[in-house]
Amino acid sequence: MSKPLYLGELLLYWCPSCNVPVLGKECSCGTKTKQVTITPPGDIRPAFPYEIELINKISVEQFSAPLITDQRTVVLNKSPYDDRMEEVIVDGEVIGSIRFELEKLKWTLLLRINGARRIFDNVDYKTLKNWVVIDAGAEKFILGGASVLAPGIKDADPSILEAEEVVVLTHEGKVLGVGRSRMTGEKMLERGKGVGVKVRFKEEPAEITVPEGGQTWDDVVKANENYMNDFIERSHKFINNVSSSVDRPVTVSYSGGKDSLAVLHLVSECLDDYDLLFADTGIEFPETVKNVHDVAETYGKTLNMLNSGNAFWDSVDSFGPPSVEVRWCCKVCKLGPITQIINDNYDNGCLTFIGQRKYESDTRAKSERVWKNPWVGNQVAAAPIQNWTAMHVWLYIFKNDLLYNPLYAEGFDRIGCWLCPSCSVADLYRLRETHSEMEKQLNDYLLSYAERMGLSEEWVKHGFWRWKDLPAPLKEIAKKKGINLVPQSKNEYSLNFTVTTGYRPCKQGGISAEGGFDGPVDINRLELTRMLEAVGNSSYMEGVAMVTEDEDRAQVFASGSVTARSDSDKSARRLMRKVELSVRRALLCSGCGVCVGKCSAGAINIKKGLAIINDRCTHCGQCISVCPVVKFNS
């Protein structure tokens, strides 16, 4: 599991009188609130009816009863995890989490103690599922931190499967703990040897008191009136100060998402003269495009937009599917069009207010609130809601009854391109339910790509395509399931190469060049020939080669994708070109020896019909330009 990331103050409190979430230490009713312990970064948000239904659906599947049985204000907190995980907060406490488990490709509910009590207290536990009753003598050991051992099990639901979430009950049927089974229910009933349940949370049995429900989000807006007024006032001041100090036409970047909607309304409360900007990437949700036009009409403002059309699908065969590391699509479909929109409409550039917030990522937390966009040269960007959580945004939207994108109510917590590699696999599986034709288009392409690369359907199914170099937990899943992660090279190479460059849109600092060969690259051959040494110091790991040249860096992936990072567009392209040519040399080398005679350092030898660069290499790159492969195959 990923480590908690502190990006700002944890702002979730709860009013015991109103039984609603509050963004500070005192409710508008005058009651002192209590802080709710949540996992950082704490970008809390309301749960929509669909999400509450999902929580209850999972709960019924696992335990035969819903977790949330009446109207309550439910808060979700996205927690660090390999895919998507949300803490579920009700009545001022975390009662469980739901997470999408990549190994099982399904949602799982992980109960906390009071969540288990809400389901199991005051009912006959035998009418429910996934319970384990322990002997009286074992209870103190469980409370002391021990696992549930099979000899200490008095009774168990025989339908329990291995690695399922279970509730541990005392011999009297009271909730004692929650955890994950290490054997089946049938095996537990044999009371042999081994661990029956690995306990995650445990607590002395106690009666649970559930506060009265019925609260609405209008009640929450009222309870947070003082805090919201303070945040709104500070944002208004920021907008007025920046717009008066930057002598450029004012625009708002409206993406169809909640954050940019809040910024748009804040700007509308301060200024009369502004336009809207929207870059339609061509892979937007149809609901998003409609919302953008509807919102522009509602505010009566000029909408300057550009549609990238089929740019993504026209480019994907050249670059391969986008990944977290290789986001070529942002440059092709978004940043370029934004630049064109500004150049076409604002001779001297513009000031753009955007919906950036620090709780979204470490990079955005470190970002300035006003900055010059190095990719969109004629744009000064400013972030009025930098210090807002998602809860601030939603309360502001509810307070003003703003026209938000309906996809939020359908289970999508972030709105962007529908096939973005930064989406969770959970979102992609939800896409299958809400937009089946779009999901099929993506899946058909990925299956075709996987077949060309010698990768399996499981590689697609588990969302591994979203990474060039999988994080360690995902590698473990792949290893456990026997899923190959390294594209298989062929003896004959098709080395058509495409490249794009630009500012890194999701990570500050530097220019990135992203390119791709139209077939897999044999990383083992790169390592054997050490051709990348002609560029700089090279290193290798499974499925990826890296080369550094002074402060610049490039990576070559087995899929054929190549990335380069530098501080200027020119340097990034230059590095990319040298890496491209070095890859061609390695894969197409015939051992002719031309480079050997031209190397003044004596750093190249011919071994078994291949040119091999040795440790004498000074990285001068002279051998690249004399290679016949470079002259006749590029």
Question: Which residue ranges make up each domain of the chain?
Answer: 44-202, 224-407, 497-632
Query: What is the rounded distance in angstroms from the CA atom of residue 533 to the CA atom of residue 547?
Result: 8
Q: Please answer whether residues 323 and 330 qualify as being in contact, where contact means their C-beta atoms are separated by less than 8 angstroms.
A: no
CA dihedral (215, 219, 223, 228) positive or negative = positive
Q: With 0-12 CB in 10 A as exposed, 13-18 as middle and 19+ as buried, what is 539?
A: exposed
Res 506: pLDDT: 45
Q: Look at residues 304, 375, 292 and name the one whose alpha carbon lies nearest to residue 346.
A: 304
Query: What is the rounded distance in angstroms from the CA atom of residue 394 to the CA atom of residue 43?
Result: 12
- Residue where the block lists tokens 């005058």: 30
Res 1: pLDDT: 47
Query: What is the rounded distance in angstroms from the CA atom of residue 104 to the CA atom of residue 83?
Result: 12
| Amino acid identity at 197 | V
3-state secondary structure (DSSP) of residue 269: helix
Res 81: pLDDT: 92
Q: Please check whether the domain covering 224-407 is classified as CATH 3.40.50.300.
A: no
Res 541: pLDDT: 87
Res 5: pLDDT: 65
Query: What is the rounded distance in angstroms from the CA atom of residue 29 to the CA atom of residue 15?
Result: 9
- Which DSSP letter does residue 33 get? P
Q: Please answer whether residues 363 and 508 qualify as being in contact, where contact means their C-beta atoms are separated by less than 8 angstroms.
A: yes
Res 363: pLDDT: 62
Instruction: Name the CATH code of domain 497-632 (choices 3.30.70.890, 3.30.1490.190, 2.40.110.10, 3.30.310.10).
Output: 3.30.310.10
Percent residues over pLDDT 70 in the chain: 93
Residue 624 pairs in a beta bridge with none
Residue 478 CB: number of other CB atoms within 10 A? Answer: 19
Which top CATH class is 44-202?
Answer: mainly beta
What does the mean pLDDT of the chain come to?
90
Q: What is the pTM of this model?
A: 0.84
Residues in the chain with pLDDT values less than 50: 1, 503-509
E-strand ranges in 527-573 read 537-541, 544-549, 552-557, 561-566
Q: Which tokens in the block code for residue 17? A: 């009188």
Res 631: pLDDT: 62
Q: Which tokens in the block code for residue 228? A: 């919201």
Query: What is the rounded distance in angstroms from the CA atom of residue 20 to the CA atom of residue 27?
Result: 9
